[in-house]
Every structure is written in structure tokens, then in C-alpha cells.
Amino acid sequence: MRTFESLGRTIIHGDALDALGAIETGSVDLVFADPPYNIGKDFDGVGDRREEGAYLAWCHRWIDECRRVLKQGGSFYLMAATQMMPHLDLYCRTRLTILSRMVWVYDSSGVQARRFFGSMFEPILHMVVDPRAYTFNADDILVEAKTGARRGLIDYRKEPPRPYNQQKVPGNVWALPRVRFRMDEYEDHPSQKPEALLERIVRASSHPDDLVLDPFAGTFTTGAVARRLGRRFIGIELSEAYVKTGLRRLDIPSDYAPEDLAKSKRRKTKNRSKHDRGGPVPGALDPMDVEPDARAVGESGTA
């Protein structure tokens, strides 16, 4: 393992289980875990597909480690494939208290499926160690309440009648756009999560100077958001290419040359955009020829 550190921001280049084992028990305020989903994605040349039982056993190990490093008042957010989340939900509820089960829903510019209903969401568990004492900053994550803010309706059940609130805490359906190629935050990674999603989580379940841990850091979106919001951060990542992304996004000094850390934007698909498609793409895989569980479009894991 190799560690890079600067001003409360730490990147550990190594295996998640090895790195988690080196973190002090009860030292972390917030964990966000977005592991590979076991649906056949390619992460910098490493495939994430393994036998289901082996995958779940591996997940159980790092879930237990994340639980160990959490403080008594800590929070744990877990993302997983729709196929795997029921198994992980059952396991997690024996070790933590599950407060909410959210879904991140998004649009898709392409055909999802022809013979079944395609995947257009990813599940998220919000868990805590102690349901009587945990951080939830409701006022920091308020969203527009359409009934009050747009329609201007009056609640006549109140005495005296008064307008409905214009803001509210988000529900458990989070409609947030996916990261697109033309966005500034886009990075070269098959399953990047949007900053808006991580900002809601970090704001809700941590305070400034709290310690946030992402054991599968990927594009280091969690770290970038934590840095911007004044939180300390530990990110673990196995891929050297993604570690370089993290060093750039978190502005951590290293012995890499500047050109090694330069941002490179490559599309996550072999399909051409609507702006430049003019015919079939040589070698492109027809998604309709892939098994449904391997195709779960939009699902993949790692932030």
C-alpha cells in the first residue's frame, strides 16, 4: 500500500480490505461505499464479475470493517446493484440500523431493453450505528416543496390557514442527473457518481472537520465534495489510474509528473453521440445481446 496525504485529505493506493484494516476503530464519522456491482464492468482493465457467493462473502468482509471504523454516532451509506442489494440489506440489518432505503433515479438517452423493463435507478441504504444519536442536518439539504413553492396552495387544515412550506427534506426518491461527457466533473471511469448526490449525503450526515471514508473511491467524487465542504477525507483505491485522478481532484502532492495527472476525457461507451453518429460503430457490442443481469444499464459501482 502507498499513502498520499495533505491537509486532512488522505489517499490510500491499495486493496480495500487491507487498507480498512489499518484504520483506527471508531474513528470515522461517515462512510460512503459504492463498490463494484459484480455486473461485468471494466475498471481500468480489471473486471468486476465473480461468482455470486464469493462476491457477497467479500462484501460482508468490507461491510464489517466499515462498521468497525465508524464512531458510535456514525453513518454509513451503501450503494449496490439492484440484484445484490436485497442480500446486502438482509446482512446489514443485523449489524446496523437501516434508517432509509433510497433510490437514485436518472434519465437515459439510449434504449434500455426490449424484452424486459430496463434499470433506471440504483438503490442506496442509509444506516447508522446508534439510532438514538446520529448526525442528520435537515436544514442543510432542503429542496423545493412544489405544493407550496410553485402552486402556492393554502393548508386549510391549520388554524388559522397558512401557505404550505416552500421547502422540505428530500424523500427517498432522488432524481439527479447522471454525469455526462460534456459536464466539467466528468472523469474517465465507467460508473462515476454525480457531485450532487454526494453533496446531499455529506451535508446531511457530517459536520465540518468530520472524517469521511470512501473505501472504493473511484473518481474521488466523495473526496472532492468533502474537501469543498470542509470535511477530512480518506479514500481507498486499487487502480493507479484512478489514484492519479484523486491526486488531481484533491490537490494532494505526489511524485507523479504533472502530465501523469492531467485530465483525460474519453467516452464510457463505444457508441457515438447523436452529434457525430453516421453509421454503425466497428466492434460495438449490441446491448440487446447481453444477458439482463450483466446489462443493468447505469449500474456499476464506485464513486
Give the model's pLDDT for residue 267: 62
DSSP 34-45: ----SS--EETT
Q: What percent of the chain has a predicted confidence (pLDDT) above 70?
A: 82
Q: What is the pLDDT of residue 152?
A: 75
Q: For the chain, give every domain's residue range.
A: 2-135+172-295, 141-169
Split at pLDDT 50, 70, 90, the class of 20 is: very high
Length of the chain: 303
Mean pLDDT over each residue of the chain, to the nearest integer: 86
More confident residue, 44 or 246: 246
Q: Which tens digits make up the pLDDT trace of 243-273? A: 999 999 999 999 999 999 998 767 654 444 3
CA 185 to chain centre: 14
Reported as a single tens digit per residue, the pLDDT across 48-74 is 678 999 999 999 999 999 999 999 999
Q: In which region does residue 123 sit, left (phi positive, over 0), alpha (psi from -120 to 50) or beta (all else)?
A: beta
Pick the CATH number of 2-135+172-295 from 3.30.70.890, 3.40.50.510, 3.90.1300.10, 3.40.50.150: 3.40.50.150
d(CA 137, CA 288): 43
Say whether 165 sits in a helix, a strand or coil. Answer: coil
Q: Is the pLDDT of residue 275 over 60?
A: no
Q: What is the DSSP letter of 105?
A: E
pLDDT of residue 111: 61
> pLDDT at position 280, please?
39
Q: Contact at 8 Å (CB) between 233 and 250?
A: yes
- Which pLDDT value is given to residue 72? 98
In this predicted model, what pLDDT tens digit does every residue of 102-139 receive, in sequence order? 999 988 766 667 888 888 899 999 999 999 999 999 99
Global pTM value: 0.85
Label residues 147-159 b or e (16+ Cβ within 10 Å = b). Answer: ebeeeeeeeeeee
Map 271-294 to HEC letters: CCCCCCCCCCCCCCCCHHHCCHHH
* The predicted structure's pLDDT at residue 298: 44
Nearest partner of 180 among 196, 162, 192, judged by Cα: 192
According to DSSP, the β-strands at 97-105 and 46-47 are unpaired
